[in-house]
């Protein structure tokens, strides 16, 4: 599978530990295999399979084999449920649409949820698409990264949990987190056809105003918009992206939803 980044941090005051798993950017993979491999490897790590066995440097123990079997079964059950998700018909039609005006029309009134997005990726694979993911992150201007803690977690009530030492106050840290610029893009490819769904952390958290509300949302662009794929990826990777006025897709069941 594509490289997984695993980090473990300890809260020096409480001794509480946090494990973080991230996937590096990847290109042209089959979504089901990619997310299945990621889930299974993450499960093996969380269940205590030694690194030597994960790396293939040591033969897996009987216990590790049982953990692996359990993780595979768990993923298969999850995948079965994902395949039952009802993906809006307009999103399925989008995969075959070749005109910008038609794509914009199909997206009007559409709402995604994290589960529906996963369902769409599975349907897209069945239609011959592969998946790529590109990310970028830029810190707030003037922030001394050497003073940032090893890790942090902002809870729903705004409380900041800090892992590692830092000279920054909770308020300063929260401001630095809120002002960093993060973008995540998923691109579905089939030959010269591609569909890109991307979001900033601000748009995902519901901090950008759209249709008069602070509604979490994705942005959409495809090959039909006349901008080369390489240019789109370049803009996703830049601090200030410029891709024009793009369709927005409402994201529900995630982030801070408008009341």
What would the pLDDT profile of 213-224 be if each residue is shown by its tens digit? 788 899 999 999
Q: Is the dihedral of CA 154, 259, 112, 206 positive or negative?
A: negative
Residue of higher predicted confidence among 182 and 243: 243
Residue given tokens 């009134």 in the structure block? 109
For residue 87, pLDDT over 70 is answered with yes
Q: What is the mean pLDDT of the chain?
A: 83
C-alpha to C-alpha distances, 66 to 2, 62, 71, nearest whole angstrom: 24, 6, 9
- pLDDT of 212 reads 75
Angle between helices 62-84 and 114-126 (to 10 degrees): 90
Q: 190: which strand partners?
A: 193
pLDDT for 150: 43
pTM score > 0.75 for this model?
yes
As a residue count, the chain comes to 259
The answer, yes or no, to whether residue 163 has pLDDT greater than 60, is: no
Residues paired with 35 in a beta bridge: none
215: Cβ–Cβ under 8 A, 6 or more apart, which residues?
A: 206, 250, 251, 257, 258
Would the pLDDT of 142 be above 70?
Answer: no
Does 5 have pLDDT greater than 70? no
Q: Assign 217 to helix, strand or coil.
A: strand
Helices (H) and strands (E) in the chain, counts: 9, 13
Q: What pLDDT score does 6 carry?
A: 52
Other CB atoms within 10 Å distance of the CB of residue 161 = 15
Mutual angle of helices 114-126 and 31-46, in 10-degree steps: 130
């Amino acid at each position: 599978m594509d490289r997984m980044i695993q980090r473990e941090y300890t809260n020096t005051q409480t001794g509480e530990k946090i494990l973080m798993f991230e996937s590096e950017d990847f290109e042209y993979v089959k979504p089901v295999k990619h997310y299945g491999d990621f889930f299974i490897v993450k499960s093996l790590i969380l269940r205590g399979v030694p690194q030597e066995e994960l790396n293939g440097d040591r033969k897996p123990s009987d216990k590790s084999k049982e953990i692996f079997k359990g993780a595979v079964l768990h993923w298969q059950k999850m995948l079965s449920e994902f395949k039952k998700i009802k993906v809006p018909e307009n999103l399925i039609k989008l995969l075959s649409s070749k005109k910008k005006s038609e794509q914009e029309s199909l997206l009007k009134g559409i709402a995604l949820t994290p589960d529906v997005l996963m369902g769409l990726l599975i349907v897209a694979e069945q239609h011959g698409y592969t998946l790529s993911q590109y990310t970028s992150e830029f810190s707030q201007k003037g922030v001394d990264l050497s003073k940032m803690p090893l890790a942090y977690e902002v809870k729903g009530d705004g409380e900041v949990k800090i892992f590692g030492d830092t000279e920054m106050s909770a308020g300063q840290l929260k401001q630095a987190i809120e002002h960093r610029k993060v973008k995540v893009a998923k691109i579905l490819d089939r030959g010269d056809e591609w569909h890109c769904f991307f979001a900033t952390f601000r748009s995902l958290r519901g901090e950008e105003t759209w249709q008069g509300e602070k509604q979490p949302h994705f942005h959409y662009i495809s090959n039909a918009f006349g901008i080369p794929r390489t240019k789109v990826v370049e803009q996703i990777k830049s601090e200030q992206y410029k891709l024009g006025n793009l369709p927005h897709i409402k994201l529900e069941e995630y982030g801070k939803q408008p009341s």
